[in-house]
Structure 1
Amino acid sequence: MIACGEKRLSQKRKRPNILFAIADDQSFPYSSAYGTSGINTPAFDKVANAGVLFNQAFVAAPQCSPSRAAILTGRNIWELEEAGTHGSYFPKKFTVFTDLLEDVGFEIGYTGKPWGPGDYSKAGWTRNPVGPEFNRKKLTEVPADGIHKTDYFGNFVEFYNQKGNDDPFFFWFGCHEPHRVYEDGSGLKSGKLLTEVDVPDFLPDNKLIQSDIADYAVEIEWFDQHLGKMISFLEEQGELENTIIVVTADNGMPFPAAKANLMEYGTHVPLAICWPAKFKGKRITDDLVSLIDLAPTFLEIAEVENVPQMTGESLKDILFSDSQSKINAVREFVLTGRERHTHARPDNLGYPSRAIRTSDYLYVKNFKPERWPAGDPVPESAKQIIPAEGFKELWPGYQDIDPSPSKMHLLHEKDSLSRYFKLAFDKRPMEQLYDIKKDPACINNIANDSTYATIKKELRDLLESELKKQGDPRVLGFGEIFDSYPRTSKMREFKGFNKRGKYNPKFTQKDQQIIE
């Protein structure tokens, strides 16, 4: 007969461990499992081979903190108030799956980057919403400048060794890479060949861009190396068979027309999931999935009861299937969105957009097409001096694009590279439509092509219907509330409202709960 305590221990042991590895700014298809040249990711490939490789996985937002908040809550960004915009607050009223796992006996922790940037403490959290921090161990050397000296693997081992021997764990490996900055030329230095670099069609295929992407690949490989060490350690401990490993990214690559945009390279990310003891390996799926589906997946597999309502839907049917390609016919679309990214416009305004992605098409609605999508250019009054006194934080303009050699190249060569410059920097119409199978880089906007009029209307109507169901302020008549939300990160010298960490009273709603 099993005593009560032994019975509880037996139940606890049945729950799998979860290792969640999330890169910072990595686009699909930049992993070697997808056949992309110029990059080598054996750990990601190992996870994909042992389980399921997803061809159609998307983040909820093309920016760090709203994307991570969406992952933690299983909700889209328009359902998360301040947490739905970049670098703001994370309201305590939203339940995160990490807390629910901890409540049923999981040891939780993270290394590297958790939820952020933003301020969780003023919203009532006593720790980061991801869980306890394990960042004590540092490296003395890294392969390139710009790579963090956080010893991700060492911190994972420290976390593992301090937990109870029989406790299942959830560990968030939040790699800072491949977020910029990069050491210029580190890709060439590491032995990469520029002729093998995969350059997306929205960027010019020249040596400068190739070198910048090669530097980016070095940092993805750094992420993969630490993941590989964690996998080997779990195997040595006899834990690998009963560990779910999820490898993905929080948004797309930090290049013009990618990160902070709702086009394909801003929201489409790598995803591989394995559980050697349970999931059949060597499977590839074309099912459309969102990273908001991960929270309900973890909670269902962990048999957590009384889960709050989530918009994401569990991936359990896909993960436990023996099938390939399209598994769940109901998964016909995913939704994405963005609000403010950096302080890139006067009055701290954002660039509100929503999108719907099907297997064949991407439809984007830009609610404020009069605004610059990449942030405002440098004001005319500041262009006489470089950098102009009083405008140094505004130079070189278009601040929603991360500083990079690629960005400066397009700015300096905007006449000869006008096609690429316009894709990255120009204002956009209210509606964008792309035939993804023909145009995965989102080069040709076919929204005004009469051939696609019916498809555009169907997608527009479906998007609006889903947003209304989910209570999106942007379609319910009070969307400007997003422009009231504070920015806790750096502010620039734009005119208008410019107070860090404060609500913009111009857009505050009467019934709005203010976090102070």
Structure 2
Amino acid sequence: MQVRFSSLNHLFCLLAIFLLTSFFQSERIVAAPPNIVMIFADDVSWNDLGCYGHPSIRTPNLDRLAKEGLRFDNAYLTISSCSPSRCSVITGRYPHNTGAPELHTPLPEGQVLFPQLLRDAGYYTVISGKQHMGNYALTSFDLVSKGKGPGREADWVPILKERPKDKPFFCWFASVDAHRAWQASKEYQPHQPSEVVVPPYLIDCEETRRDLAQYYDEISRIDYFTGQILDELDAQGIAENTLVLFFADNGRPFPRCKTRLYDSGIKTPLIVRWPAAVKAGGVSHSLISSLDIGPTFLDVAGVAPDKRIQGVSFEKVLKQPDAKIRDFAFAEHNWHVFKAHERMVRSGDWLYIRNAWPEQRNLCVESIEFPSGEVLWDRFNAGKLNERQQDVFLKPRPREELYRVSKDPYQFHNLALQPAHAAELARLSKALDQWTVQTGDTIPENPTPDRNQRPGEPEPPEFEHREMPGDAKQAQKINAPGPVLSSSID
């Protein structure tokens, strides 16, 4: 009899295990959606952090973020210009598709806003610091703050402390570091001119070194406040399931960087830490666009994508750093104080640039004003520049540029006219043509003119924004992303 009861108990146990297993296999167990903190630097180039190999800029907290997370080595912006870059990120759309492709143009109503999609899904949404996208973009946030302190970062930790504790949160924390004019503060140890690494396209002199040292200081300030955020997440016990992403809106505010489509202007540092899902200390060489940030946040939050978003999620790269989501990253250079229309495509080891108006110099305010630019112009007028320092003075410029990035990291050697690289030139030109047609990009017939006077040229007409790229094709209504993978090329 005892044997019989043991057998029945055993059978009941097996049946219970079977039923429980069937239940859990049929019901998807959903983990809590992650909190998301996006830290947005201003005017910082990709290699101006210690974790990207810079030997003297002090960024211990960003280095910690990379050590505890995943560093991306091939992340590209859609434009190297403040407000259109931000409008592109918040919509997941190319600048000419947002209706705000030029500096200081507000995002039109009706464009998709990924923070609103998070908000609709139950997230508490915050923006603090630099906004620069117009009033419509701010409607997607529960809390809007202009920020505090020289870099507008001083209220970030209080916001984290005072947030509602009953829902996940998304924070868009946007510094003004390292935008000019420089502002000293107590949060960092000042860098000395002797510590500076002068890029070969600038003049290595005392004025340039002092200018760069102060730029380094501003990066150290946003690094300090990044550390404050990490410490606060630890203190609240929520670091494990909080995704922290750091990147910048465009390159450093120096000649041949900001506004430009070389790596010094268009490539961004991008670091993600999410202990619950991302293995610490990884490096990804996968090609990423800033278009992809919004859809990635939506993906990890379990929110359905909107058909208007042109970017693609890189959620799988977070877990498999060698995964591939795109073969092409496209970027624009539109009006930013001076008239411009350049387009870029990055693919594999190659970078291709096409210039619609090669008859003019490729200028930015940082190429003319401020110590490093002023010294460059003084040396140019004296005939004392070497070949690498002459870029901003070229007139006319090449209509096409082609660079092999691994062998030419500064993009000094244009290979567009070399027969040996004709096939690569044709491949990237075809991809850019297809992107232009599919996304509705256009070259304005009545473009926005220069706002500032070009050195040695007449005063420009009274300034106004005129026809912008994409207007002629109503690109604001176009959702096609252009080619993403090589298989999508016609």
d(CA) in 2 for partners of 1:201, 1:418: 10
The Cα shift of 1:21 comes to: 0.4
CA offsets, 1:74-126, max 9 Å, x none?
Answer: 11112122x1111112111211101111111111112211244xxx24xxx28
Aligned to 2:181: 181
Secondary structure at 1:373's aligned position in 2? coil
Aligned-residue Cα RMSD (Å) equals 3.0
Aligned equivalent of 1:423, options 382, 386, 391 = 391
- Decide whether the 8 Å contact of 2:96 with 2:475 is kept in 1: no
Report the Cα offset of residue 64 of structure 1: 0.6
Note the C-alpha offset of 1:275: 0.6
User: 8 Å contact 1:491–1:498 — kept in the other structure?
Assistant: no
Q: Distance in 2 between the 1:158 and 1:492 partners?
A: 44
Offset at residue 129 of structure 1 (A): 5.8
Alignment match, 2:343: 354
Structure 1 length-normalised TM: 0.78
The residue aligned with 1:389 is none
The one-letter code matched in structure 1 to 2:38 is F
Could you report, residue by residue, the CA deviation over 1:302-327 in whole angstroms, capped at 9, with x for unpaired residues?
A: 11135233221101110022x5xx43
> Does 1:93 find its partner at 2:73?
no
CA deviations on 1:379-410 (whole Å, 9 max, x unpaired) are xxxxxxxxxxxxxxxxxxx6363732100000
Change (3 A) 1:165 1:91: same
Per-residue deviation, 1:269: 1.1
Specify the alignment match of 1:229 in structure 2.
228
Give the secondary structure class of the aligned counterpart of 1:401. helix
C-alpha contact (below 8 Å) 2:250/2:265 kept by paired residues: yes
Cα distance in structure 2, aligned partners of 1:93 and 1:424: 38
| Deviation (angstroms), 1:496 | 6.2
Residue 337 of structure 1 aligns to a residue whose secondary structure is strand
- 1:262 is aligned to 2:261: yes
Identify if the C-alpha distance between structure 1 residues 110 and 212 changes in structure 2 by more than 3 Å, giving closer, same or farther: same
Contact 2:151 2:175 in 1 (8 A): no
- Structure 1: distance between partners of 2:137 and 2:387: 48
Query: 1:25 — aligned with what?
Result: 43
C-alpha spacing 1:450/1:204, structure 2 compared with 1 (3 Å): farther
Change in CA separation of 1:41 and 1:450 when aligned onto 2, cut-off 3 Å: same
Q: Bigger radius of gyration, 1 or 2?
A: 2
| 1-structure distance, mates of 2:462, 2:139 | 26
Q: CA contact under 8 A between 2:440 and 2:474: conserved in structure 1? A: no
**1:101–1:299 contact (8 Å) kept in structure 2:** yes
Paired amino acid for 1:448: L
Aligned amino acid, residue 69 of structure 1: C
Contact 2:97 2:475 in 1 (8 A): no
How do 1:54-93 and structure 2 match up within 5 A? 54-81=72-99, 83-93=100-110
Distance in 1, Cα, partners of 2:201 & 2:279: 37
Q: Can you give the 5+ residue segments of structure 1 that lack an aligned partner in the other structure?
A: 1-10, 140-147, 345-349, 375-397
Q: How does 1:262-301 map to 2 (within 5 A)?
A: 262-301=261-300
Q: Percent of pairs identical after alignment?
A: 29
Structural mapping, 1:14-53, within 5 Å = 14-53=32-71
CA distance in 2, matches of 1:172, 1:306: 19
**What amino acid sits opposite 1:52 in the alignment?**
L
> 2:371 corresponds to which residue?
405
SS of 2:43's equivalent in the other structure is coil
1:327 correspondence with 2:323:
yes
Change in Cα spacing, 1:165 to 1:276, as seen in structure 2 (3 Å) is same
42 and 334 in structure 1: CA distance in 2 versus 1, 3 angstrom threshold = same
Conserved? CA contact 2:73–2:269, under 8 Å? yes
How many residue pairs end up in the alignment?
Answer: 440
